[in-house]
Every structure is written in C-alpha cells, then in structure tokens.
C-alpha cells in the first residue's frame, strides 16, 4: 500500500496532476491511496473510477484556488501511518509526515517573493509586514520535511537550487509528467491567427499589455487570476476566455502561432510543455523551470528580459518562423510523457521497498 499525500484537491489540475499521472502508470504494481485534508466530491469520484482509494481528512478551509493552497500550507496537517509495511510519498505543501519520498515543488515564500510585484496592493502590504515570519516558518517546515523523508526529490534543477540555498539538498530531480495522449495536435494546418497565453497568479501583466499594444492578437485562458488589471480587460487585442474545457484547450494550443508564457515564478511550468505536446512552439524567459524543458530555437524562443520578450513577440507575429520548430515540438514533449517519467518513480519505490525488506530480515 502506498499513500500519496496531496494538498487540498479542488480539481484534477494543479497539485493532483503529477501524482495522478504517476499513479495511473504504476497502479498495476501497487495499491495507491490518495490522502488529502480535503477532497472535492467530483475529484473523489474520478479517482474511485480509476481504481484508487481516497482518504479525506474532512478539514474545512475558508478559501479556494491559490489562496486555498496558501491556507493549507499555513495551517498544516499531519499524517502518520497506522500499519507497518506501508509507504508514504508526500507531494504536498501542507502535510508534515515521515515519508519515504518527498516531492519538492518549490518553497511557498520563494514563489510569493517573485509574485510580489503583481499582487494586489493590500496583499503586497500584508505580505511585506508578515514576510519575515512566513520565511522563518517556511524554512523550518522544509527542514523538518527533509529530516523526516528518506529521499528528497525536486521537480526541476531550479527548484533543487532554491532548496539548496536554504541548506536543504535534494537527492534527485524528476520532472513532472504530462499525458501526451491527452495533449496532442488537433490539426495539421494551424490557423496561426492569434497567440495563446495563460493568465494566472504568476503572470507578468505589463508585458502582456506591451505586446497587445504592439498589435499582437492574444487569446488568454485561465480561471485562477482574480485580479486582472483593468487596462488588460479593456485591451481590444486581448480576448479573455476564462476557464476552457480540455477540448477547447487542445484547439487553442494547436492553432496558435505560438504560446506566450510570461511568468514571475515557475519551478517547472506545465503550460510550455502542454503547448509543445500540441505542436506549438513557446516564447518565454530563459530562466527557472521553463529554461530546462524548452530548447532555444528548436521548440522555443528563450529571452533574457521583458524588452526582449516584447520585441521577439512582435517580430514572430509579423514575420512568422520556419515550420521546423513545429516538427520538433512533439518529439521534445514525449520526453516528459508519463510513460517516460513513471519508470523512474517505479525504480525509486522498488529500491526503497527492497531496503525495507532487507532491514526487517536483518
């Protein structure tokens, strides 16, 4: 029996995606239980239909979306095994548990530091006043997780470096998986008459404004950002789609000229990998997680500054690019497919189980 510990589960996206895809690939080998402080009924039903058990702590939360994850991190939960011979893989930001593997996806306060300029004014003030306390709490929590975990695995080299800067060394790096059966090109003749982008809590809004004002037609999706500036909402070259279905998202990616990813903080970055899985190259920054998944001038354009991003976005819109980039995209995306990533998880788990058996025999 393996317990996957997760943050509160409101949907099948976000914190559930990596463990869900991993579990689907290894469920023939192990019985897996998804444990969380709170599991939405629809999510629980989907997990049940996939053959997984769930353990809902029934904890009540006051917020939803991004604030829910922050609330869960701040309040924290504990998890203790009741039987010997069980395994714990902790994917969460909120569970303090003795785990065989902790999957580190980035310190919360590091993300808040990078997102600070784009926060609502009241949030900026609150965070500035409480930052010292939050950072101290975050460091303490991470060090306790490290001490209680046999293996500490980061979701990117950039992510591992953030922890190392706090004196916590990662044992390994395993990138989050993507379902390349789900994400695939839906057309062989993309319309290319717009650029697609994701709007979320990590978005660099002023950069989007500059690109749209230069004449680039942008279609934006996402439902987690609640404080989109009015100057963007009034921009005629930006069409806000809000939450889109999986089918709509595939068509959005597949028909876009390119995907624009303007982020403030991104330990890995699913948007760029989803885009190239649909055959569409990505324009983003040459830093953090996306600089590891994207290959410059093969499946993407990686730039060093906001000014470079705006200039390149406009140039690509006006002049286009060679079709070779689209041909390369799918090949690169398959390196992140769950069928390619899951064997590494299976090997780690089997090695830990063998060590446990050996220790019991001696």
Q: Where are the domains of the chain?
A: 2-177+338-361, 195-336
pLDDT in tens, 263-321: 999 999 999 999 999 999 999 999 999 999 999 999 999 999 999 999 999 999 999 99
Question: DSSP E strands: which ranges in the chain?
Answer: 2-5, 32-36, 53-56, 77-79, 87-90, 95-97, 99-104, 149-154, 172-173, 195-198, 218-221, 238-242, 259-260, 282-285, 300-303
User: Quick one: CA dihedral 303, 169, 155, 331, positive or negative?
Assistant: positive
Q: What is the pLDDT of residue 357?
A: 59
What is the pLDDT at residue 226?
67
The answer to whether 2-177+338-361 and 195-336 have equal CATH topology is yes
pLDDT of 362:
34
Q: How far apart are CA 299 and CA 294, in angstroms?
A: 6
pLDDT less than 50: residues of the chain: 358-362
Which CATH architecture best describes the domain 195-336? 3-Layer(aba) Sandwich (3.40)
**In CATH terms, is domain 2-177+338-361 a member of 3.30.300?**
no
d(CA 22, CA 341): 8
Q: What is the pLDDT of residue 12?
A: 78
pTM over 0.95: no
């Amino acid at each position: 029996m393996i317990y996957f510990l997760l943050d509160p589960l409101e949907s099948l996206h976000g914190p559930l995606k990596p463990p869900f895809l991993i579990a689907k690939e290894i469920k023939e080998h192990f019985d897996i239980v998804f444990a969380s402080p709170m599991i939405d009924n629809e999510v629980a039903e989907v997990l049940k239909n996939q053959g997984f058990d769930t353990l809902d702590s029934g904890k009540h939360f006051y917020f939803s979306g991004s604030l829910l994850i922050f609330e869960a991190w701040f309040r924290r939960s504990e998890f203790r095994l009741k039987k010997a011979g069980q395994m714990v893989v902790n994917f969460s930001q909120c569970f303090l548990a003795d785990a065989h593997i902790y999957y580190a996806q980035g310190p919360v306060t590091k993300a808040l530091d990078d997102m600070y300029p784009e926060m609502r004014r009241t949030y900026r003030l609150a965070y500035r006043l409480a930052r010292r306390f939050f950072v101290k709490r975050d460091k303490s929590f991470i060090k306790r997780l490290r001490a209680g975990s046999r293996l500490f695995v980061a979701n990117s080299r950039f992510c591992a470096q953030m922890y190392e800067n706090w004196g916590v060394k990662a044992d390994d790096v395993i990138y989050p998986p993507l379902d390349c059966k789900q994400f695939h090109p839906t057309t062989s003749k993309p319309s290319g008459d717009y650029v697609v982008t994701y709007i979320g809590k990590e978005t660099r809004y002023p950069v989007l404004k500059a690109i749209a004002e230069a004449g680039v037609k942008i279609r934006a999706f996402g439902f987690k950002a609640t404080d989109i500036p009015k100057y963007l909402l009034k921009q005629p070259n930006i069409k806000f789609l809000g939450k889109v279905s999986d089918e709509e998202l595939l068509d959005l990616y597949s028909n876009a000229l390119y995907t624009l990813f303007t982020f403030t903080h991104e330990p890995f970055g699913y948007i760029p990998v989803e885009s190239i899985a649909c055959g569409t190259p990505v324009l983003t920054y040459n830093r953090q997680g996306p600089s590891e998944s994207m290959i410059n001038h093969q499946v993407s354009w990686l730039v060093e500054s906001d000014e470079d991003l705006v200039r390149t976005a406009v140039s690509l819109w006006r002049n286009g690019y060679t079709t070779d980039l689209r041909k390369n995209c799918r090949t690169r995306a398959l390196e992140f497919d769950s069928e390619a990533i899951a064997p590494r998880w299976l090997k780690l788990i089997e090695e830990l189980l063998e060590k446990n058996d050996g220790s019991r025999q001696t």
